[in-house]
Structure 1
Amino acid sequence: MLRLRESILCHILSSPSKAGFAPLRCLLSATASPPISPNPSGFAVEEYLVDTCGLTRPQALKASKKLSHLNSPANPDNVLAFLSGLGLSGADVAAVVAKDPFFLCAGVERTLVPVLDGLTGLGLSSPEIGRLVLLAHHNFRCRSIVSKMQYYLPLFGSCHNFLRVLQRSSYLLSSDLDKVVRPNVVFLRECGLGDCDIAKLCVRVSRMLTTNPERVRGMVACAERLGMPRGSGMLRQALQAVAFLNEEKIADKVDYLKNTFRWSAAEVVIALSKAPMLLKISKDMLQRKSEFLLSEVGLEPVYIAHRSVILCLSLEGRVRPRYYVLKFLKENGLVDRDLSFHTAVNRPEKYFMEKLISPHKEAAPHLAEDYATACKGEMPTNLRFT
C-alpha cells in the first residue's frame, strides 16, 4: 500500500501534464484544430482536455461546459498523476474524464488518496483499483465507496466477482446500502439463498439488489405462484426468469407454453419448476422445439413437462443432432433400445462422445464427422451415418 501511495505522490510531484501525457499531446498537435476561446483566466479548458487528457474534440467540447469554472491546470494535473500512478493507460484516463469530467476537480489529498488507502486496506490490488475507477465513475470520488466495498466484497466473494456485476450496473455503488441493498440481501437470505447464490443472481440480474425492496418481494411471490417456493433449489433461476417481467407478460407466456406443448395447468407448473428459464425463451423458438419434439421425435406432452430442461438446450446445436445419432444407433442395433432420449440429449458432450460416438468407429466410420457437422447446424438431407 505504501509503495503504491508513494508512486502516486511521485507522479503528482513530477508534473505529469508535461511528462507522462506529452506523447499524446504531440500526436494530437499534428492535427489542425479550430481556435479555442479561453476562459477569462487564460486557461483553455477544451484544449487541455484534448491535448493533455486525450479526449476527442466533440468529447472535449461537451466536457468543457461542465468545467468552465477551472482557471488552472494544477488540480487536473494532480488528478491525472493519480490516475497514471494507478497504472491507467492514456485511453483509460480519457475514458474516465469523458464519462465524468468532474473527476478532474476531485481533491487528490482530500478525497482520492484516502479512498486509495481505504481500498488497499481492504486488500484490493492496484489493477483492481484501476478497474474500479473505470467502472465506478463519479462514485470513486466519494469517500463512502470504501464502506460500500467493505460490505460488498464478502457478499460477492471477491473483487473480481463484484467488478463483473458493477460492469453491468454501476447502481451498486450509488444505491443506499441501509434502505435498499441490505434489506434486499436480508430478504433473499431469508428465502434460502446463500451469498454465493445472491452473487450468481446479480451477475444475471445486475439490478436485483438495487431495486425497491417491495419489488423484490413481488418477484419472489411471483416465483412462488409458478411453483418455486422459498427454500427451493430453483428459486435463484426462477428469480432470474421473472425479474422485471410484469404479470401480464408472464401470464401470456404461461398460456403459450400450455397451448404449444399441450400441457395442463398442473403440467406447466411442473415444467416451470424444473426449468424456470422457459419464460425467457422466445415464442418462435418454443414453437420450433414443440414441432420437433412432439411431431418428429414423437414425445408425449407429459414426458416433456417432467423433463423440461431439454427445452433450454440448443435445438440445432445439440438436441436435433443427438436425436439423429440415437435413432441411427438404435436402428442398427448398436445401443440398447431402452436408452432414453432424455439421457442422450441431457448428458455432457464428453459423456455423449465417449458412450455413443467413439465406441462405434468401426461400425459407423462417418458417425463422428456427421455428428460434428450436424452440431454446426449443417444437417445434410441424407446423413452419412453409414
Structure 2
Amino acid sequence: MLRLRSSILAHLLSSSPAASPASPLHRLISAAAPAIPPNPGSFAVEEYLVSTCGLTQAQAVKASAKLSHLKSPAKPDAVLAFLAGLGLSAADVATLVARDPRFLCAGVERVLAPNVAALTGAGLSRSDIARVLSLGRPQFRHRAMASTLHYYLHLLGSLDNLLRALKYGSLFSSDVERVVKPNVALLHECGLGACDIAKLCLSSRWLLNTNPQRLQAMVVCAEGLGVPRGSRMFRQALHAVAFLSQDKIAAKLEFLKNTFRWSDAEVGTAVSKAPTVLELSKALLQRKSEFLISEVGLEPAYLAHRPVILNYSMDGRLRPRYCVVKFLKENALLDRDRDYYSAVVLTEKVFMEKYICPHKVAAPHLTEDYAAACRGEVPTRFIFS
C-alpha cells in the first residue's frame, strides 16, 4: 500500500497542474490516500521519506528523528498533494522536506492554503510561491508567515531580492513590529531610501534584526566618522562600523594614519569619503600603501582625497592598469601628465576603449600583455628599469 501511495504522489509531484492549489486539494488528497486506513503502528517514516519524498537514506534517517510522533501518512500525504498542486517539482519537495521535515506536519486547510492565498493576494504567482516554499524555512508553516513575507517583499522591492535574503539570512529572527519596523524608520530618518535599505538588508542581513538601541549607536558612530546623515556615504558608513567596538575603530584609524602617513585631518577626510576602508584587512592596506606610495609614487595627501582607490583590487586593477599607463608614457603614447587615478576609476570596458584599443597598431601586444598582468603575470614589456 505504501508503494502504491508513493507512486501516486510521485506522479502528482512530477506533473505541473494548471489550476489553483486550493481547488483540487480534496481531489488530490483523496487520490493519494489509501483505500483502507493503515495500521497506526505500521507507518515507517524513513521508508516514506525515501520512497515518497525522494530523500536519500542518510537524509531520511536525520529527518525521521523530527517526525517520530507520526503514526499515519495522512498529514504528509495532504501536504505533498498540496505542494503538487502548487507545482513544486519532486526535487524541490525533497529539498524542502530535507531542510524542514516538520513541514510535512503543517495543516493544509488551517495554515498552508491561507498563506498561499495571502501571498497570491500580495501579487505572487504560483511559481513564485513555489520558489519561496522550496527554500524550506521553518517559518513557512506558521500563519504569520504570509504577512511577514508581504512586508519584506515590499521592503526589498523584488522577489529575487526576497529570495536572496531568505536563502542567505534569517528575516524571521526578530519581531517585525517591535524590531524591524523601528529600525527601518530610523534608517529613513537618516536619509536612506528604499533602495539603500534593501541593499543594507542584503549585504548586512542581520542589521535590521539588531536591537534598535544598538542600531542607534551605529548611527552615532557613523556620524562620528564625519559621515553625516543623508549623505551618499552614510549607508556604507553604517555597514563599515556595524558591530565594531569603539576601540577597534580607533585602532583601525590609527593604523591607517601610520600606514599611509596621514595626518589626523587626512584620516578623517579619507574615511568620510570611503568608509569601507575600515573593512579592509591590515595586511591588504599595508600592501596597497607600499605599492601606491613607494612604487607608483602617489603622495599621502593625494590618496587621502581619493581613498576609493584603496577599495580596488590590487592584482586585478591597480597594478595592471599602472603597468599599462607607465608603458604608454614610456613609449610616448600617452601624455606624461595623465593622471593614474583617472585610469583606475574607469570601468573595464571604458578603460579598454581609452587606453588599449587606440594603440593596437603602435603597441600590438598591449592587449595580451594587459590580460596577462590581470592574471598576475609580469610581461617582459611591463618590466621597467
- Report the CA distance shift for 1:17/1:359 in structure 2 as closer, same or farther (over 3 A): farther
Q: Residue 90 of structure 1 aligns with which residue?
A: 90
- Report the CA distance shift for 1:300/1:50 in structure 2 as closer, same or farther (over 3 A): same
Given that 1:8 and 1:86 are in contact with CA atoms closer than 8 Å, whether structure 2 keeps it comes out as no
Say yes or no: does 1:318 pair with 2:317. yes
The partner residue of 1:3 within 17, 20, 43 is 20
Given that 1:274 and 1:309 are in contact with CA atoms closer than 8 Å, whether structure 2 keeps it comes out as yes
Within 5 Å, which residues of 2 pair with 1:251-262?
Answer: 251-262=250-261
Distance in 2, matches of 1:237 and 1:157, equals: 20
Say yes or no: does 1:153 pair with 2:153. yes
Instruction: Name the amino acid aligned to 1:13.
Output: S
Q: Residue 56 of structure 2 aligns with which residue?
A: 56
| C-alpha RMSD of the superposition | 2.3
The alpha carbon displacement at 1:239 in A equals: 1.4
Structure 1 vs Structure 2: percent identity of aligned residues? 61
Distance in 2, matches of 1:220 and 1:16, equals: 57
Instruction: Name the amino acid aligned to 2:249.
Output: I
- Report the CA distance shift for 1:209/1:197 in structure 2 as closer, same or farther (over 3 A): same
Distance in 2, matches of 1:280 and 1:168, equals: 21
The alpha carbon displacement at 1:134 in A equals: 2.8
Instruction: Name the amino acid aligned to 1:251.
Output: A
Given that 1:310 and 1:346 are in contact with CA atoms closer than 8 Å, whether structure 2 keeps it comes out as yes
Instruction: Name the amino acid aligned to 2:87.
Output: G
Q: Residue 13 of structure 1 aligns with which residue?
A: 30
Distance in 1, matches of 2:139 and 2:310, equals: 42
Post-superposition CA distance 1:237-294 (Å, at most 9, x none): 1112222223332222222211111111211111111211112212111111111111
Given that 1:16 and 1:77 are in contact with CA atoms closer than 8 Å, whether structure 2 keeps it comes out as yes
Instruction: Name the amino acid aligned to 2:283.
Output: D
Given that 2:95 and 2:136 are in contact with CA atoms closer than 8 Å, whether structure 1 keeps it comes out as no
- Report the CA distance shift for 1:186/1:95 in structure 2 as closer, same or farther (over 3 A): same
Q: Residue 369 of structure 2 aligns with which residue?
A: 370
Given that 1:367 and 1:384 are in contact with CA atoms closer than 8 Å, whether structure 2 keeps it comes out as no
Distance in 1, matches of 2:179 and 2:316, equals: 42
The two structures have a TM-score, normalised by structure 2, of 0.89
The alpha carbon displacement at 1:81 in A equals: 1.4
Q: Residue 242 of structure 1 aligns with which residue?
A: 241
Post-superposition CA distance 1:25-62 (Å, at most 9, x none): xxxxxxxxxxxxx9972212222222222223333233
Q: How many residues align?
A: 365
Q: Residue 308 of structure 1 aligns with which residue?
A: 307
Given that 1:45 and 1:64 are in contact with CA atoms closer than 8 Å, whether structure 2 keeps it comes out as yes
The alpha carbon displacement at 1:84 in A equals: 2.3
Instruction: Name the amino acid aligned to 2:164.
Output: R
Distance in 1, matches of 2:342 and 2:24, equals: 59
Post-superposition CA distance 1:134-182 (Å, at most 9, x none): 3352211111112112322222112221121121212x13421110010
- Give the secondary-structure state (helix, strand or coil) at the position aligned to 1:215: helix
- Report the CA distance shift for 1:121/1:283 in structure 2 as closer, same or farther (over 3 A): same
Q: Residue 347 of structure 1 aligns with which residue?
A: 346
Distance in 2, matches of 1:206 and 1:17, equals: 45
Instruction: Name the amino acid aligned to 1:11.
Output: L
- Report the CA distance shift for 1:354/1:9 in structure 2 as closer, same or farther (over 3 A): farther
Residue range with higher mean Cα deviation, 248-257 or 68-77: 248-257
Distance in 2, matches of 1:198 and 1:354, equals: 35
The alpha carbon displacement at 1:333 in A equals: 2.2
- Report the CA distance shift for 1:330/1:150 in structure 2 as closer, same or farther (over 3 A): same
Q: Residue 213 of structure 2 aligns with which residue?
A: 214
The alpha carbon displacement at 1:103 in A equals: 1.1
Post-superposition CA distance 1:59-104 (Å, at most 9, x none): 3233323222211101111111112222222232222222222211
Given that 2:40 and 2:72 are in contact with CA atoms closer than 8 Å, whether structure 1 keeps it comes out as no
Q: Residue 177 of structure 1 aligns with which residue?
A: 176
Q: Residue 67 of structure 1 aligns with which residue?
A: 67
- Give the secondary-structure state (helix, strand or coil) at the position aligned to 2:132: helix
The alpha carbon displacement at 1:106 in A equals: 0.9
The alpha carbon displacement at 1:335 in A equals: 1.9
Given that 1:54 and 1:90 are in contact with CA atoms closer than 8 Å, whether structure 2 keeps it comes out as yes
Distance in 2, matches of 1:64 and 1:116, equals: 26
Given that 2:21 and 2:82 are in contact with CA atoms closer than 8 Å, whether structure 1 keeps it comes out as no
The alpha carbon displacement at 1:357 in A equals: 1.4
The alpha carbon displacement at 1:345 in A equals: 0.8
Consecutive unaligned residues of structure 1, counting only runs of 5 or more, are 19-37
- Report the CA distance shift for 1:381/1:280 in structure 2 as closer, same or farther (over 3 A): farther
Post-superposition CA distance 1:169-225 (Å, at most 9, x none): 12x134211100100000000000011110011110011111111111111111111
Instruction: Name the amino acid aligned to 1:12.
Output: I
Q: Residue 76 of structure 1 aligns with which residue?
A: 76
Distance in 2, matches of 1:151 and 1:308, equals: 37
The alpha carbon displacement at 1:17 in A equals: 9.1
Distance in 1, matches of 2:214 and 2:316, equals: 37
Post-superposition CA distance 1:296-355 (Å, at most 9, x none): 111111101110111111111111111111112222222222211110111112221111
Distance in 2, matches of 1:17 and 1:341, equals: 75
- Report the CA distance shift for 1:256/1:245 in structure 2 as closer, same or farther (over 3 A): same
Instruction: Name the amino acid aligned to 1:110.
Output: R
Instruction: Name the amino acid aligned to 2:85.
Output: G
The two structures have a TM-score, normalised by structure 1, of 0.88
Instruction: Name the amino acid aligned to 1:367.
Output: L
Consecutive unaligned residues of structure 2, counting only runs of 5 or more, are 1-17
Distance in 1, matches of 2:26 and 2:240, equals: 49
